[in-house]
Amino acid sequence: MTLLFASHLLSARRRRWVLLLSLLCAMPLVPRAEEPTPFWSEVRESVDLSVSAGARHEDNLVVEELDSVSRESGSAWVGSVDLDLEHELAGGRELGAGYFMEQRTFEQHPEYDLGLHYGYGDLSQRLGPVRVTTRLDGSVAYLGGTRLLENRQIGMELSSLVNRSLYVRGELSFKQTDLLQAPERNNDDTRTQLAGYYFLDGTSHYVSANYRFSAKRAQQFRFDYDAHRFGLLYNRRLSSWATLKLDWRYEERQYLSDTSTTANGVRLDERQRWRARLEVPFTERWELELRYEHRDYASNLDSVDYTDNRLEARLTLELL
């Protein structure tokens, strides 16, 4: 991997990402103690921590939150940290929390550099065959080094394993988003979501379907819309060395204001996404993920009517 990146050491920004990748590859695995202490065993069971680094290419740089479509391509180095904690309490309760950070650095288009910070906390209670979960989460995103948005969300979820083959869940949530670069788009979003998972061979082979209704109400009425989203996912562990995931998503956004477009009447968006992911574990801790995504976003607002493609390769190391 050192040889692969050596030819690209042309700028300080690139050297920074090569150094991160080199450190990842050189990082020794945490040795497993033959007789771990009770404290270390409890930490191992309650905490998941991973870091990843890789590269991605987008043939159309887009900021969806601002309806900004550049129609220019760009490549970026990508790095992330993912931390999850889960602890079982007495009486069928579970407590969870987590933090996720990702940074994308574009060599030729630094104005599209993206920094994302996301955190959550949840508490769940089992009531017979149903688990009730209350969740709080929030995120902050930076675009080109400037804060783009902040959001907060509270939700309640009901889930149940109906039998060995079927798992279902439903969720109601309320989300507030502040767009610091476009305050007229600040919005409240009420969402209802249903999902089902059918296991053909446990978690190694299953299909799932989901539906979500979203009612977004913005600071200015011309950005208000109702949306219906449908999704399908197919997951198959091909062997001990690879897992394939294929998914499709369709969303229809019906804007409520007749001033949302100037020439074609009320704005209507029909958005489709096809995605393929291949996860290849090298060892118990190292995994390579290859991802391809194609999007077809149709709209009667010409500036946001486009198709694009995204490619990504990412190497992940599980620390805990």
Could you tell me the residue range of the domain that residue 157 belongs to? 2-318
Range name among 81-85, 89-93, 263-267, 295-299 with the lowest pLDDT average: 263-267
pLDDT band at 41 (very low <50, low <70, confident <90, very high): low
- 46: Cβ–Cβ under 8 A, 6 or more apart, which residues? 85, 86, 87
CB 164 within 8 A of CB 80: no
Q: What percent of the chain has pLDDT over 90?
A: 79
Amino acid identity of residue 316, one-letter, is T
SS3 (DSSP) at 28: coil
- 204: Cβ–Cβ under 8 A, 6 or more apart, which residues? 235, 236, 237, 243
How many angstroms separate the CA atoms of 151 and 120, rounded?
12
DSSP tag of 189: E
266 φ/ψ angles, rounded to the nearest 5 degrees:
-65, 135
**Residue scoring higher pLDDT (41 or 206):** 206
- The model's pLDDT over 87-128, given as tens digits with 9 standing for 90+, comes to 999 988 999 999 999 999 999 999 999 999 999 999 999 999
Q: What percent of the chain has pLDDT over 70?
A: 85
- The model's pLDDT over 208-217, given as tens digits with 9 standing for 90+, comes to 999 999 999 9
CB 197 within 8 A of CB 205: no
Based on C-alpha coordinates, what's the Rg of the chain? 22
- 249: Cβ–Cβ under 8 A, 6 or more apart, which residues? 229, 230, 231, 232, 271, 272, 273, 275
How many angstroms separate the CA atoms of 316 and 172, rounded?
32
Retrieve residue 176's tokens: 């507030």
Question: What is the rounded (10 degree) CA torsion for 20, 28, 238, 234?
Answer: -50
Bridge partners of residue 169, in order along the sequence: 159, 195
pLDDT band at 10 (very low <50, low <70, confident <90, very high): very low
How many angstroms separate the CA atoms of 19 and 2, rounded?
10
The overall average pLDDT reported for the chain is 89
How many angstroms separate the CA atoms of 234 and 247, rounded?
6
Domains of the chain: total:
1
pLDDT band at 28 (very low <50, low <70, confident <90, very high): very low
CA distances to 107, 161, 226 from 167, in Å:
44, 4, 28
pLDDT band at 2 (very low <50, low <70, confident <90, very high): very low
**HSE on the CB side for 243, CA within 13 Å?**
14
SS3 (DSSP) at 11: coil
DSSP tag of 203: B
The CATH number linked to 103 is 2.40.160.40
